[in-house]
Amino acid sequence: MVRLLLIHAERFSFEVRKPAIREHEPVDGRGAGEFENPLVVFVAVERNDIPHRNYVIARAVHEILDVFRRVSASRVILYPFVHITDDPAPPSDALSVFQELEQRIRSEQVAVFRAPFGWYKRFDLLCRGHPLAELSRTIRPESAKQVQRQIPSRFLVILPDGSELDPADFVANPLADREVRILVQREALRQPGPGGEPRFLRYCRKFGIEWEPASDLGHMRYEPDAYILFECITRYVDQLVEELGIPVFRIRGTNMFDLSIPAVRKHAELFGDRLYELHADARHLVLRYAACHQQFSAVKDWSISYRHLPFAVFEIADSYRFEQSGELLLAFRVRKLHMPDLHIFCRDLEEAQRLSFSVHQLIHREVERVGRRYVLYYTVTESFYAQHRNYLLQLIQRDQRPALVRIIPDGIYYWVLNAEYHIIDELDRPREIATFQIDIDNARRFGITYTTSEGSAAHPIILHIAFLGSVERWIYLLLDTAAQAEASNRKPSLPFWICPVQVRILPLRSDLTNAALEIAKQLLAAGFRADVDDRDLELGRKIRDAETRWIPLIVTYGPKEVETGVLAVRIRESGEVRKLSLQQLIQLCNDLQGPYPKLPHPHLPILVSQRPRYVHD
């Protein structure tokens, strides 16, 4: 909380004596002063103000000017006074707040003097003593959601033919697209959903996806089956980014950045109370919430020509967002996530728009491959909508589906367009998965330039892209898809390429285990995750166990299979049993695998009996 003590003084004077902290600012001729009829504002900036600095500065300026005008003071004196708080902000952060307070008050055509920061000072003050002469104010930071609600905006539903509808009129139409209607009801009209307990939480336990009770809230752990899900997704998205046909540079870096760096701080302010902060070595640090900081910090040091553009930078970044405890949802809203973050650096807005069509197509293709469709929620600035409405309409026409559009004032965010790709989940809730943004500001903010064909310096336009959203959200999408299948009386399942075990071999007798192992090893050599259930259980129990674990192909292996070389392969999805040779089984696996990368068992024993029971059915 910014704390203010406001004194309307008849006279006020001060002079600096000696530095109070190592980070004291230069005096620069401001070491003493005498003033008549000032409003003296003693200010203390607290640690929790920094993530919300835009909001608290604006509110503090409003309160100061309100009192200034009511008491008819001659000027405002800003006087650092850390003694009215027991939780001060780091000096560099507090000084930057003081400097901006001074600038904003001066921009209102009000005379203002700021006493030097970080010094012991002597002062004399003669208070006027009227009812408004001694006041205090506390500026409490608001949450990101509260600030978001204060942004003036208007909503439209835009149809593929270009017509615009009021959200309420769209929802009232009984023939409106059901999923788009739900998105509009929840996001534009703020109508609550039905609620309930989602099935996907049960599936998370099945595959060993849990909250980590020994950590902070909102942190997940991945047990062996879940680890395979995670690794499959990261390998696939690493493959996916190459499909755009432009150079992709991969980097790695730190997960924390110094908030005293203006570019870092300005970018971080947009995330408000979702920042994960820490203090070390007298520095105020923020844990990254995406790959932006590291990629931009690296690219600003590159020598870039227009001939190099467009190019992309990619990292699967561990990211941290301090989500509210009441909003945490396993695999969807978490405090530590893994973001496959791609940034494309473009010459200009036209090139960014052209590339965004390919991005848009890839994002849709991936969700359609798992049998789902996205509904689109675009947020655009007023000027971008006025000047580039036709571009937005082209995106909507490619979907042949209405889209929800929110129009906001210019200058609030670093982007001019933010595209959110939502699924409608099992409980009729919109859930954002993938996204892309057109960023016009961060290249300037971070000092990223390229040399144009004329030899001048220019700032590139940046596309921010998460093809699959976070790894966690793609897992959520797959498990929600399984939940919707079960709700429709179909077998819940995962796509073949990501199943922790793809083929399980069930020897009918213990003396056939070694032969079954040889088959499993050949499947492993072909790139498929196969194991052998050698436990001393009845065949029916083994089949039920494989079904419970959603293993797509189950092979029973007895004397007849040894003699003929023909395997009895049970296909879980359809329930049919096929007679296949080993080579035919491998070909079937290849067909089911499709374009996705192969990942054999990472460090898991082939024999089921050698694994601890880590699955929580």
User: pLDDT tens for residues 402-424?
Assistant: 999 999 998 888 999 999 999 99
Q: How many beta carbons lie within 10 A of that of residue 384, not counting itself?
A: 20
How much is the mean pLDDT over the chain?
91
Calculate the CA 327 to chain-centre distance: 15
Confidence category of residue 150, pLDDT binned at 50, 70, 90: low
Q: Tell me what pLDDT residue 143 has.
A: 47
Portion of the chain with pLDDT greater than 90, in percent: 75
Retrieve residue 546's tokens: 């494989």
Q: In sequence order, what are the beta bridge partners of 135?
A: 6
Q: Coil, strand or helix: which one is 216?
A: coil
Q: Where in the chain is the domain with CATH 3.30.930.10?
A: 152-252+292-480
Is pLDDT at 146 greater than 60 in this prediction? no
CA distance 550 to 555: 14
What is the pTM (predicted TM-score) of this model?
0.80
Phi and psi torsions of 78, nearest 5° = -95, 120
What does the block give as tokens for 269? 């302010």
Residues 6+ positions from 118 with CB-CB distance below 8 Å:
19, 20, 21, 23, 24, 25, 80, 91, 95
Alpha-helical runs (H) found in 465-538: 471-487, 513-525
- More confident of the two residues 211 and 611: 211
CB atoms within 10 A of CB 120: 11
CATH class of 496-610: alpha beta
Helix, strand, coil shares of the chain, percent, nearest 5, are 40, 30, 35
* Paired residues of 404 in beta bridges: 157, 377
Cis peptide before 600 (omega within 30 of 0): no
Within 13 Å and on the Cβ side, how many CA atoms surround 43? 33
Tens digit of each residue's pLDDT (9 = 90 or more) over 464-516: 999 999 999 999 999 999 999 999 999 999 999 999 999 999 999 999 999 99
Q: Can you say whether the dihedral through the CA atoms of 160, 166, 171, 173 is positive or negative?
A: negative
**Residue entry with tokens 């009232």:** 172
pLDDT in the model for residue 602: 67
Of the options 2.102.10.10, 1.20.140.10, 3.30.930.10, 3.40.630.30, the CATH number for the domain spanning 152-252+292-480: 3.30.930.10
| Per-residue burial over 501-535, b = 16 or more CB atoms within 10 Å of its CB, e = otherwise | bbbbbbbbeeebbeebbebbeebbebebbbbbbbe
d(CA 103, CA 205): 54
* Domain span(s) for CATH 3.40.50.800 in the chain: 496-610
Q: What is the pLDDT of residues 559-593, one digit of tens each?
A: 998 989 999 999 998 889 999 999 999 999 999 99
For the segment(s) 2-141, the CATH number from 3.30.1360.120, 2.130.10.10, 3.20.20.70, 3.50.80.10 is: 3.50.80.10
Strands (E), 248-296: 248-250, 256-258, 276-280, 283-287
Name the segment(s) of the chain with CATH classification 3.50.80.10: 2-141
CB atoms within 10 A of CB 39: 29
